[in-house]
Amino acid sequence: MRAKSSALGAALIAISTPALADHVGPSGFGSGGGISVFTPDTLDEGHWSAGLRLTYSHPEQRSEAELEELAAEHIHAHNTDYNLNASAGIAYGISHHLTVSAELPYVRRDDLREGTHEHIGGVAINGVEDLGSVTGFGDMNLLAKYRISDGGTTGFAVIGGIKIPTGNTHNQSPDGERLETEHQPGTGSWDPIFGASASTKSGAVQVTVSALYQFSTEGAQNTRLGDRFQGGIALSHRFGPAPHEHGDADSHHHGSELDEHHDEHAHSTWDAFVELAGEWEGRQKVDGGVEEASGGKWAYVAPGLRFNAASGWSAGAALALPAWQDIRASHPNNRYRLMLSVGQAF
């Protein structure tokens, strides 16, 4: 049996703002893991949890001259001042082994600018177009996590689900022109998601690994954004009283009587963690043609803290700093990413 605050974040398979493109990809947060590396824990049967997650990404800034130079090479590169993703999620324990979740993001890309290239009177003209700030609801993730192990010091779970096209794909520039799909809050595509998570712990120390892969399909404006992979490893240490549990190996399969008994012994705790994680994004296709300058990959280190209240709520924060990145020219490199989360178990 796990305390409600311990299972809370792990059950909510969340979404984060990817580094490479203007759309969300799958990820997760979990108590005992990191903030994007998630544990295999599931909610107990009949229990709920809900959470909010805020991700602020700050890209490296490229000057207008740099954008114009890339446009001269027929690379329509872009920049934003920042990218913000605020998402709300809810999860439900169908059984002790199976948890389902849904999460809907709201995105903002501030001051979007893109290099332009056109020919006027036989003369090539390069410039920078101000596309304004893009805001709106993004695509919803519906996911299921099935825990194969029965508890104890090790765990393993598999994840499956789909991203459904709930987001807006008709935002316009200040000139009234419809923005390209990669800049829209939504994609217009139905994308399958698969993944897994495993963890092992010794006393207050836990090691967690997780990975998720999203298969992109064709969406709005004949655009197929690149597939996405996100994964990593997290090392965490819990500070606080050790849980006083009775019959831990078997209590995971009992009902509300043991739930109530366990809650009597709950204590507030702190988790300190560090993640080594990475993301990869494939090239996108528009009208069947491959955008060679799109996609890329990066790896980052993210230290963080999380508070787990005895009453069932938790709050966490982490700062992701790039350790290495190889992002193609259409997108800027990353400077940092700030991730915040708060949730409540019922």
What are 13-30's pLDDT values in tens digits?
444 444 454 554 554 444
Considering only CA atoms, which of 142, 257, 152, 244 is closest in space to residue 198? 152
Three-class HEC string of the chain: CCCHHHHHHHHCCCEECCCCCCCCEECCCCCCCCCCCCCCCCCCCCCEEEEEEEEEEEECCCCHHHHHHHHHCCCCCEECCEEEEEEEEEEEECCCCEEEEEEEEEEEEEEEEEEEEEEECCEEEEEEEEEEEEEEECCEEEEEEEECCCCCCEEEEEEEEEEECCCCCCCECCCCCECCHHHCCCCCCCEEEEEEEEEEEECCEEEEEEEEEECCCCCHHHEECCCEEEEEEEEEEEECCCCCCCCHHHHCCCCHHHHHHHHCCCCCEEEEEEEEEEEEECCCEECCEECCCCCEEEEEEEEEEEEECCCCEEEEEEEEEEEEEEECCCCCCEEEEEEEEEEEEC
Q: What is the pLDDT of residue 150?
A: 80
Query: Global pTM?
Result: 0.87
Lowest mean pLDDT, pick from 233-242, 249-258, 295-304: 249-258
The backbone torsions φ and ψ at residue 8, rounded to the nearest 5 degrees and listed phi first, read -55, -65
Mean pLDDT estimate for the chain: 86
Query: Which of residues 317 and 346 earns the better pLDDT score?
Result: 317
Query: Which of residues 227 and 247 earns the better pLDDT score?
Result: 227
Q: What's at 197, amino acid-wise?
A: S
Q: What is the pLDDT of residue 20?
A: 54
Q: What is the pLDDT of residue 117?
A: 86
- The per-residue pLDDT for range 89-110, each reduced to its tens digit, is 999 999 999 999 999 999 999 9
Whether residue 201 is predicted with pLDDT greater than 80 in this model: the reply is yes
Distance CA 70, CA 75 (A): 5
Distance CA 269, CA 259 (A): 19
- The per-residue pLDDT for range 136-158, each reduced to its tens digit, is 999 999 999 999 988 778 999 99
Q: What is the pLDDT of residue 121?
A: 77
Q: What is the pLDDT of residue 4?
A: 44
Whether residue 266 is predicted with pLDDT greater than 90 in this model: the reply is no
Whether residue 218 is predicted with pLDDT greater than 50 in this model: the reply is yes
Distance CA 252, CA 181 (A): 45
Whether residue 220 is predicted with pLDDT greater than 90 in this model: the reply is yes
